Amino acid sequence: MSSSNWTADFLSQLGRDTPVAESTVAATRLWQIDSQAWQQLAELAVVHKLRWVAGWAEHVDKQFLINSCFEKQGEYLLLRTTVDVVSPELPSQATVYPAANRSERHSQDMFGIKFTSHPDNRRWTRHQAWIENSYPLRKDFPVQGSPVGVTPPDMHYPFIKGHGAGVYEIPVGPVHAGIIEPGHFRFQAVGELILNLEERLGYVHKGIEKIAEGRTPESLGRLAGRVSGDTTVGHCWAACRAMELAAGVEIPPRAALIRGILAERERVANHLGDIGAICNDVAFVFAQMQMTRLRELWLRTNATVFGHRLLMDAIVPGGVVCDLSDVACSLIKKDIAELRTELTEIITALDLNTSLEDRLYTAGFLSEDIAKAFGTLGYVGRASGQDFDVRRDTPYPPYDQVKVKVALENQGDIASRFWIRYKEIRTALALIEKFIAQLVAGDICSDWKIPPSGSEGLGIVEGWRGEIVSYIRFAADNKVARFYPRDPSQLNWPALEKLVLNNIVPDFPVCNKSLNGSYSGNDL
């Protein structure tokens, strides 16, 4: 069924008793439906094989707007319903879409919305930071909160208990031996075999959504670049794209090409780091030393050309702040040639190492069915047969001018996630060269247009971890009323609980690193 037909067929099956008001949010179709049809629509979406993408809520006057975003064949559909603030209740879509589970729990904790029949309504985001019946994303909640002293420890979260002869429990974190961010992992095991894993995240909740309210576009762009420190380009681009769509601003062609170069450089740097870290977690230190060295050289070029190693604040609403000179382009191309040569030699050595192969192949297996159910993205999804990439399937400038080769594996193990990363590096290098070749003289930033109050935008880009979704609604006077960023990690993290099953406890670090979810990107 073509993308032009599936939405009409989907709509017809809702029935005459389910009125749908259709409009658009920028270029995305929006269906406004009655809250009583929320569950029915999710069930139909599963039948029609729609992918659940994101969900968020918003407090507007005396009601909550509840949003769910779906995708099929590169076409996005935004569903919206409303519930009253006095008694906010809505059927849970997590009963049919496991991917919606934590998103609904987040809306429950931040707004006080009750999702009936939810499979797991334990507190997720709030921990002990706010008193009962206090909801930070309601408009009457002060941005500074109501601090009452030291936040009590989160000691009584009801983890699932293991029972049976020889079953024991291993608590790990939230503080770890290193500089990674905090997250708690609770294992049940027999001997060294993992029977169950539960994650407890949210320890680095930053209040991103709350402090976004009232910001100007420029300020919101800077904030978006700090959602996750390793994805400064991806999140900033998604937020700026959402604002540009809402305001009707078209960025210059040269700016789009530079944004593409920035995004692919971010992808390369992170994949280099991950390949080395995966090898290090199975004691193959040589690989980490080499990949760290190559990543460091790559980051130094970032600093030389764009003024920041991690490319912070290079993208702004309307375009970019850094132009590329001929000298800079030559330096980037020289970097690419050197990286290709060295990477080929190192990867050959890794591929021939049988001890490395023994630790990566078949370990951390994630089946295609589970990857699909949880909506896994990027290298995690594509290593388990999920053939989707925003750059190819819903192309945006400058990717609409090139052919993007998407790497795909179906073995679903750590080795597959390793090789997807390597293949994506090769693709990224080729894309950077194509974008440089297409650079023509011109502006790098368009004049900003103040959007009307109520204007909405949905910015979707392919970050290095996968699809990033950014929703923005404007209030009056060019100020942001609502900002919701969905990092790929929100959908990838739950898959870790599945891919570690029947692995041994010592393999958990490399299983975890092969997924490499962002704590910060998950904990808004």
- Answer yes or no: is pLDDT of 16 > 70: no
**Inter-CA distances, 284 with 349, 357, 412, 506, 514, Å:** 12, 11, 22, 15, 15
So what's the pLDDT on residue 180? 80
So what's the pLDDT on residue 18? 63
Share of the chain above pLDDT 70, in %: 96
pLDDT in tens, 387-398: 999 999 999 999
Which residues contact residue 215 at a Cβ distance below 8 angstroms, ignoring those fewer than 6 apart? 223, 479, 480, 483
So what's the pLDDT on residue 5? 67
So what's the pLDDT on residue 22? 65
399 or 36, which is more confident? 399
- Answer yes or no: is pLDDT of 3 > 60: no
- Counted residue by residue, the chain has a size of 524
In whole angstroms, give the CA distance from residue 397 to residue 252: 10
Categorize the per-residue pLDDT at 2 as very low, low, confident or very high, splitting at 50, 70 and 90.
Answer: very low
Question: In the block, which residue shows the tokens 């388990």?
Answer: 384
So what's the pLDDT on residue 319? 97
When pLDDT is averaged across residues 197-212 and rounded to a whole number, the result is 92
When pLDDT is averaged across residues 280-302 and rounded to a whole number, the result is 95
pLDDT in tens, 451-487: 999 999 999 999 999 999 999 999 999 999 999 999 9
- Answer yes or no: is pLDDT of 206 > 50: yes
Q: How many CA atoms lie within 13 A of 309 on its CB side?
A: 8
Burial class of residue 32 in the structure, from the number of CB atoms within 10 Å of its CB (0-12 exposed, 13-18 middle, 19+ buried): middle
In whole angstroms, give the CA distance from residue 466 to residue 462: 5
So what's the pLDDT on residue 297? 97
Q: What are phi and psi of 327, to 5 degrees?
A: -65, -45
Q: Which domains does the chain have, with CATH numbers?
A: 3-116 (3.30.460.80)
Tell me which of 12-16, 212-216, 410-414, 468-472 is least confident: 12-16
By C-alpha distance, which of 223, 229, 257 is closest to 242?
223
- Answer yes or no: is pLDDT of 15 > 80: no
In whole angstroms, give the CA distance from residue 493 to residue 517: 6
Beta-carbon neighbour count of residue 402 at 10 Å?
A: 18
So what's the pLDDT on residue 14? 63
- Answer yes or no: is pLDDT of 8 > 90: no
Q: Is 260 left (phi over 0), alpha (psi -120 to 50) or beta?
A: alpha
So what's the pLDDT on residue 311? 97
- Answer yes or no: is pLDDT of 1 > 50: no
Q: How many CA atoms lie within 13 A of 399 on its CB side?
A: 22
Average pLDDT, the chain: 92
* Cβ-contact 310, 232 below 8 angstroms: yes
By C-alpha distance, which of 334, 308, 336, 331 is closest to 321?
308
When pLDDT is averaged across residues 131-146 and rounded to a whole number, the result is 87
Q: What are phi and psi of 218, to 5 degrees?
A: -60, -45
Categorize the per-residue pLDDT at 20 as very low, low, confident or very high, splitting at 50, 70 and 90.
Answer: low
